[in-house]
Amino acid sequence: MFQNFISRFRKDLAIDLGTANTLVYVRGQGIVINEPSVVAVNTKTEQILAVGNEAKDMVGKTPPHILTARPLTGGIISDFEVTEKMLGYFLDKVGDKSLSFISRPKVVVGVPMNITEVERKAVSDAIMNAGAREVWLVEEPMASAIGSRMPIKEAMGNFIVDIGGGTCEIAIISLGGIVNWKSIKIAGDEFNHNIVQYARDVFNLLVGERQAEDIKIKVGSAVELGEMMQFPMRGRDLVTGLPKEIMINDAQVRDALSRSLRTIVDQIKGTLETTPPELISDIHERGILLTGGGALLRGIDGLISRATEIPVRITDDPLTAMVRGAGLLLEDDELLREISITSRDNANR
């Protein structure tokens, strides 16, 4: 009875702790936070000045004593203290401070498949220190598959490719478990780096990460488009040192991204090559599902489909599939215990 009383005040959470963005889902409310995983710190006082959208607006525009940092790299915590403060900020935004003791939430959070035991502990500790009561870790492709309403518990092959900011997670799921998988650190951030490097090599132009991301979103594509698209690329001329603007088109951006896209396609094909034939038959019939922000790159579904000769579709709202899946697990304790890597860790102790 006391537990039922407490549950009325508790806001259990699902978190997509992404390299590029952090999303928070509140049980009974849906997604309430979707902000960049960026923190601005005053290095003189060690104070957090801004988090999320406000901090991202500061990137590249701060004086020397203000550092803008992304505390996650490749889906893994690279700065524990800053991550903890960022999470505390987000949890404070959705929490009820007047009932802080009894309203500490249960949290389900997605993590990459290749995460180490030390990295798992870092994620759990950061979330616990930020105010959680208990933390459950779920592999990101599994959460994304649940959020996309794939029949993960059935005896059939479900092929999902989750292209996030820091990692590309490729997984084949059957009977509530991951049968075959690959995880590579080529995803949205690497696409941005490709554009920065292309601008330097081809145009002698130094552009920032935010400019590269804008170009990727506005004119980026994986296959040839029916009509040419252009976008102004602004930066510093490496020869004269002066500001310069040129027009970059979709073909040039496609050239910049080609190596990374080829690597993703090769990893998908490699996963198929080592998958049991019974599951391959299911996948050939059911197709491949794309999730994550990288799935929004124009034509990437067509590129993968042509390379694998398998139908490819993009899930509804691919940016939020993972956190929606983690949110559904808040309503299903049995499934959460079954697929959570936290449960497996506890069982091995």
pLDDT band, very low/low/confident/very high, at 96 (cuts 50, 70, 90): low
Judge whether residue 10 has pLDDT over 80. no
pLDDT digits (tens, 9 = 90+) for 58-68: 988 889 999 99
Q: What is the pLDDT of residues 271-281, one digit of tens each?
A: 999 999 999 99
Query: Can you tell me the mean pLDDT for 35-55?
Result: 90
Q: What is the pLDDT of residue 159?
A: 98
| Average pLDDT score over residue span 116-121 | 92
pLDDT at 275: 95
What is the residue-averaged pLDDT of the chain?
A: 90
pLDDT for 336: 95
pLDDT for res 98: 39
What domains are there in the chain, each with its CATH number?
2-142+322-342 (3.30.420.40), 152-315 (3.30.420.40)
Asked if pLDDT for residue 348 goes beyond 80, the answer is no
Residue 76's pLDDT is 87
- SS3 per residue for the chain: CHHHHHHCCCCCEEEEECCCEEEEEECCCEEEEEEECCEEEECCCCEEEEECHHHHCCCCCCCCCEEEECCEECCEECCHHHHHHHHHHHHHHHCCHHHCCCCCCEEEEEECCCCCHHHHHHHHHHHHHCCCCEEEEEEHHHHHHHHCCCCCCCCCCEEEEEECCCCEEEEEEECCEEEEEEEECCCHHHHHHHHHHHHHHHHCEECCHHHHHHHHHHHCECCCCCCCCEEEEEEEECCCCCEEEEEEEHHHHHHHHHHHHHHHHHHHHHHHHCCCHHHHHHHHHHCEEEECHHHHCECHHHHHHHHHCCCEEECCCHHHHHHHHHHHHCCCHHHHHHHCHHHHHHHHC
Over residues 29-40, the mean pLDDT reads 94
Instruction: Identify the pLDDT of residue 344.
Output: 42
User: What does the pLDDT read at residue 100?
Assistant: 52
Least confident segment among 50-59, 174-183, 231-240: 50-59
